[in-house]
Amino acid sequence: MNMASNIKSTTTSIASDLKPTGIKLFFKKLVQQRILVLMSVPFLIWLFLFKYLPLWGWTTAFQKYRPAKSFSEQEWVGLDQFKFLFQDERFLRVLRNTLAQSGINLALGFITAIILALLLNELRGMIFKRVVQTVTYMPHFLSWVVAAGIIQATLAPDGIINMLMIKLGMIEKGQEILFLGIPKDFWTILGLGTVWKDLGWNTIVYLAAMATIDPAQYEAAEMDGAGRFRRMWNVTLPGIKSVIVVLLILNIGNLMESGFEAQYLLKNGMNIDYSENIDIFVLTYGINQSNFSLAVAAGMFKSLVSIVLLFIANNIAKRAGESRLF
């Protein structure tokens, strides 16, 4: 249009030495940075198309959705789906399972990964270090189908654990324990299984963070007479603290995602009270029953809780004066 005149008028306003405020300032900056603004347009469109437009689908949660009918033909039911969810004892149970499973995974995963990273960092024998790293992160590349098969075989009545227990005289032959059939042990099995699978992978980021610590700090600490554990405690750990906090915030935001494959593959009739999580619930009572509205309502609930958790965690970090997301 008349870009030229615009520029002209802004230049004159600068020339007139009046400090622009409010809307004027906004437009001034807009014009000044027009190239940047234009460059970001495609990404905003992308963001809108793929991240915000699908939120339209959330309307499904307030309908009694029938597939293959148009939007105007759907029956609106208000909060009925949510009411059903929160009154269903099954849903409260799967909610408990979801939080417990991911809580256990979070705590176990964090502690083991940091400890392993600290230990690896202290190793001087490169070959041994590499071997340990490779061995621990190999299982990450297995799909859960294979991993669950391995876990099942290990825990089976004729599996290695029962065999060991018999050899050690802890149980009699014929009294093999059906580990996957003990409901309360499911969380432990899942937690340990996840640690086994992802331990090595999770250490990578901490090792990278440790690599950025200035060696001079170690030398100084050594001069001051700090031993190995002192150095770990007073140099390495504070050095990676910011990474730990950021990862913790991110993971707390994901607390409602306890995973799907592992539970789905390891669950059976006996441990269902402790293995079924929200995702499996959505599959059996939402998608399998063609009750898509319920599935969407559950998914929506999950997202909302995740956002709240993320804000809380971030806020705590902020108050504690730590690095944070925003």
Partner 1 sequence: MAKKLLLTCMAAVLVFTAACSNGNNGKNNASSTASSSAPAATESAAASEKPLDKVTFSYFLGVANAPDVNTNETTIGKAFEDQTGVNFKIEHLVGDLKAKIGTMIASNDYPDVINPDAGIDQLVDAGAFMDLTDLIEKSPNIKRVYGPFLNQMKAADGKIYYLPISAQVGDFVPDPEINQGAFWIQRRVLKEAGYPKIKTLDEYTKLIEDYVAKHKDEDLTGLISLTHDWRFFATSNVPMHLDGYPNDGNVEVDMTTFEAKTYYTTDSTKRWLQKLNDLNAKGLFDKASFVDNYDQYLAKLSSKKVLGFFDYGWQSANARNLLVDAARQDPTQDDFVYFPMPLTWDGGKDQLLDPPGFVKNRGIGISVSAKDPERIMGYWDNLLKEENQILKSWGIKGETYEVDDKGRFYRTAEQIKKIDEPFNLSFGFRYFNWDWPQYGANSTLSDGNAFAPGFQPEVFQMRLTDADKTILEKYGVKTYSELFAAPDDRAWYPAWGIPKTQGSPEQIWETTKDEVTKKFYPKLVLAKPADFDKVWEEYLTAFGKLDTAGYEKWYTEQIKAAIEAAK
Rounded Cα–Cα distance for residues 265 and 191 (Å): 14
Q: 131 Cβ partners below 8 Å, 6+ apart?
A: none
Q: For residues 207 and 270, which CB has a smaller minimum distance to partner 1 in the complex? A: 270
The interface with partner 1 within residues 82-141 (CB under 8 A) comprises none
Q: For residues 66 and 130, which CB has a smaller minimum distance to partner 1 in the complex? A: 66
Q: For residues 219 and 261, which CB has a smaller minimum distance to partner 1 in the complex? A: 261
Q: Minimum distance between the CB of residue 204 and partner 1, rounded to whole angstroms?
A: 31
Distance separating the N- and C-terminal Cα atoms of the chain: 38
Among 270, 309, 316, 325, binds partner 1 (CB under 8 A): 270
Site for partner 1 contains 321 (CB under 8 A): no
Q: 301 Cβ partners below 8 Å, 6+ apart?
A: 82, 85
The interface with partner 1 within residues 51-70 (CB under 8 A) comprises 66-68
The interface with partner 1 within residues 1-40 (CB under 8 A) comprises none
Q: Which stretch binds partner 1 (CB under 8 A): 47-55, 149-157, 233-241, 304-312?
A: 149-157
Rounded Cα–Cα distance for residues 252 and 102 (Å): 9
Rounded Cα–Cα distance for residues 128 and 73 (Å): 66
Site for partner 1 contains 268 (CB under 8 A): yes
Q: Minimum distance between the CB of residue 6 and partner 1, rounded to whole angstroms?
A: 32
Cα-based angle 263, 98, 257 (whole degrees, multiple of 5): 85
Rounded Cα–Cα distance for residues 297 and 86 (Å): 11
Site for partner 1 contains 77 (CB under 8 A): no
Q: Rg of the chain's alpha carbons, rounded to an integer?
A: 27
Site for partner 1 contains 292 (CB under 8 A): yes
